[in-house]
Chain A
Amino acid sequence: MNFSEIELDGEPRKFWTEVKEFLAEHVTESVLDEERANGSGFSEPLHLALGKRGWVAPQWSVEHGGAGLDGVQARIIGEELLRSGAPYVLASTTLLPPIAIRMFGSEELQREVLSKVADGTVRICLGYTEPDCGSDLAAVRTRAVQDGDGWIINGQKMFTTGAQHSQYCFLLTRTDPAAAPHKGLTVFLLPLDTPGVEMRPIGTLGGERTNFVYLQDVRIDDRWRLGDVNNGWSVVAAPLTAEHSMGGGDSDELTSPYLIACENLLAAALSWASETVGTDGRSLSAVPAVRERLAEIAIAIELARSTPGPMGRIACSDTLNAIASELMDLIGPAAQLVRGADGAVQAGAFEEGFRFAPGTAIYGGSTDIARNMIAERILGLPRSTPRRRSS
């Protein structure tokens, strides 16, 4: 057990300074404004600048286009990036498919795609769920049919976040409708400039933009296939496992972005309390009821920080939902004013947080899926999701 500070001297200390300077230069007010306006979860100039330094995939080796950094340095980049407020969603999802591309892609495909992922010129969105799927990925209907040395794909994908800034979609398709649902799936890396691919934006409550991707008679070469035909369930397994932990929990990994959202709301509330003068002429941070509430929220955040694995994924999201609401109650009517409105509190941070929070219990596999995982794999309870009858 050890929670001591990691002593940095010489090179690593310089490296940290370098990261901060880089972010100060590239995460500009205009980058943040654009993200607030479009919610695309991506900034191309920032991403390309990261790629130039090998910081898109900082732990990949230098010959693979990364920076060959150790865990501590990668953590410094990751934490500083997340805490800078820079858009991060597409940069994170882009790194998931390469896990499968390394395991299942041909050498040629790896050469073609991975170095461009590392230099930032290639981004990859996740083509998993569909209008009728939700979290039940084995239910995908998008159909891929073999046609000579290629495939013809028809169907639609939903919540393909970042597709408008991506070059590829990591696409889960059905290739054998007669097989059991898990056994008739195949994965492709679909170039998004292929004729027949169309996308339409979907706006979210949290101000993010995601997409529908429509696929009509899309013809691609067989070389874009990842893994064996009908073995798609194994191909998505590794990236999915990595994605499930992105909501937080694993403490030696990066702090969950949802926990950082909690910390930012608490910091905004602490500023609000110290800057606001109460009826007795003293700041609100001297008022016992305010102090107790803020302490309670700080404790909830520390509890979520210590909660591991899928339990932590739930805790980070549930805590964000709870405190976003409670802080608005503490602050009162003006907490609902949007950024830029006359009298908006802390630039509308609480109004924004309240809208952002519910989605965090859905993204990357809902908290209910996490509860099923805990019940079945950790507590050893009988399986609660109904077994699908093989068709």
Chain B
Amino acid sequence: MTAVWELRRQDYELSSEQQELRDSFRAYFEKSVGAGRVRDAEPLGFDEALWKESGPQFVSMALSEAAAGDGAGLVDLALVVEEAGRAAAPIPVVESMVGARALERLAPTCDLLDKIATADAVVTVCPGSGEVGRRLVPAGAVAEAVIGLRGTDVVLVTGSAAPLAPNLGCAPLGWWDVVGGTVIGTANDFAAITTEWQLLTAAALVGLAQAALDIGVRYAKERSAFGTQIGAFQAIAHPLADVAGAVEGARRLMWRAAWFAENEPDALGVLDVGALLSAATAAEKAGAVAIHTQGGFGVTLESDAQLYYRRAKGWALMAGERRALLAAAADRLLGPSEAVR
């Protein structure tokens, strides 16, 4: 009954280069993207000027040096994406990074690669199963190409950006027909795309969660009621402490998953889905606790907490149905269902 254990390093420390990378993007987003800019980009959730300015850098990081990029690893990409999430930046960083890497692997001669490198086009990915028909696509309302699964093929579908499907998180979602298009890969190729999208979305959600937690903590220190700072009440402090644990745990699980995806993908196990679901839970909880900490103010549109709360649910939902995500994780834990007697 005793589980087998492996003697592995448990080193979560960032290198000094990684810390610098994170700090520089944190500084960039703090300077460039305040809550006002996030609000101004609603309801589309896309700030074209910001994307023109910053998009080429994100895409370049995602591409290998052979494709004239910087060849950043998944852990480094996750660090950058977390900062974008922390700012709730209205730009399709995750989709563009994953899309660029997929294009480089599966369609290296595609002329879209040049266009995304200069932020003249957005190529997005559509996570989820290969069912034929209309699919709600992240960044689908600003993209001119979608990489998705159709049956057991990975296809690249091009077209003009879909109309915005107005939504909870003010994300640029749009309906695309994932039919036709060019076959560029197999279901196996799509598994790698899915893992990358899940990990980077987890990173964005961790950033959102941290921002919401910070809002709640700041308010608990500033606000007084019943003659004392409300953060001195355990009914306020303990939920914030639980959120802090959820955020830090999700962040480190996401790092561990990214490390495995990059270095030992065969040993990834449930970590990619785990990172996504844990980050989703942390972000939603952080948003809800921040709102509740602020009390009546938290449910007004003036509060920034609601910006994070809405996005936490919306971004996480794009990963697909919870059942399907858990079924995929179960395949890694128990082996495929068909193989079970």
Q: Which residues of A contact B (CB under 8 A)?
A: 1-6, 8, 16, 72, 75-76, 79, 83-85, 251-252, 255, 260, 263-264, 266-268, 270-271, 273-274, 282-283, 285-286, 288, 291-292, 294-296, 298-299, 302-308, 311-312, 314-315, 346, 349, 368, 370-372, 374-375, 378-384
Give the Cβ gap from B320 to chain A, nearest Cβ, in Å.
13
Q: Is B226 an interface residue (CB 8 A)?
A: no
Query: Of the candidates B3, B11, B237, B337, which one forms a contact with A381 in the assembled complex, judged by CB atoms under 8 Å apart?
Result: B237
- Contact indicator per residue, chain B 304-341, by CB within 8 Å of chain A (1) or not (0): 00000000000000000001001101100110010011
B233 contacts which chain A residues (CB < 8 A)? Answer: 384
Query: Of the candidates A1, A84, A307, which one forms a contact with B259 in the assembled complex, judged by CB atoms under 8 Å apart?
Result: A1
Query: Of the candidates A2, A79, A308, which one forms a contact with B5 in the assembled complex, judged by CB atoms under 8 Å apart?
Result: A79
Give the Cβ gap from B42 to chain A, nearest Cβ, in Å.
30
Query: Of the candidates B221, B245, B323, B329, which one forms a contact with A311 in the assembled complex, judged by CB atoms under 8 Å apart?
Result: B245
How far is A346 from B260 in the complex, measured between Cα atoms in Å?
33
Q: Is B7 an interface residue (CB 8 A)?
A: yes
- Contact indicator per residue, chain B 250-290, by CB within 8 Å of chain A (1) or not (0): 10110110011001100001110110011000000000000
Query: Of the candidates A3, A252, A283, which one forms a contact with B341 in the assembled complex, judged by CB atoms under 8 Å apart?
Result: A283
- Indicate if the CB atoms of A375 and B231 lie closer than 8 Å: yes
- Indicate if the CB atoms of A264 and B341 lie closer than 8 Å: no
- Indicate if the CB atoms of B248 and A308 lie closer than 8 Å: yes
- Indicate if the CB atoms of A3 and B245 lie closer than 8 Å: no
Q: Is B13 an interface residue (CB 8 A)?
A: yes
Q: Chain B at the A interface: mostly helix, strand, loop or mixed?
A: helix
Give the Cβ gap from B124 to chain A, nearest Cβ, in Å.
27
- Indicate if the CB atoms of A286 and B221 lie closer than 8 Å: no
Query: Of the candidates B10, B15, B237, which one forms a contact with A375 in the assembled complex, judged by CB atoms under 8 Å apart?
Result: B237
Q: Is B103 an interface residue (CB 8 A)?
A: no
How far is A311 from B1 in the complex, measured between Cα atoms in Å?
28
B337 contacts which chain A residues (CB < 8 A)? Answer: 286, 288, 291
20 A-B interface contacts by CB (under 8 A)? A1-B75, A1-B259, A3-B9, A3-B10, A5-B7, A252-B11, A270-B334, A273-B334, A286-B337, A291-B337, A294-B330, A295-B326, A307-B249, A307-B252, A315-B249, A375-B231, A378-B244, A381-B217, A381-B240, A384-B237
A85 contacts which chain B residues (CB < 8 A)? Answer: 2
- Indicate if the CB atoms of B1 and A268 lie closer than 8 Å: yes
Query: Of the candidates A291, A315, A371, which one forms a contact with B234 in the assembled complex, judged by CB atoms under 8 Å apart?
Result: A371
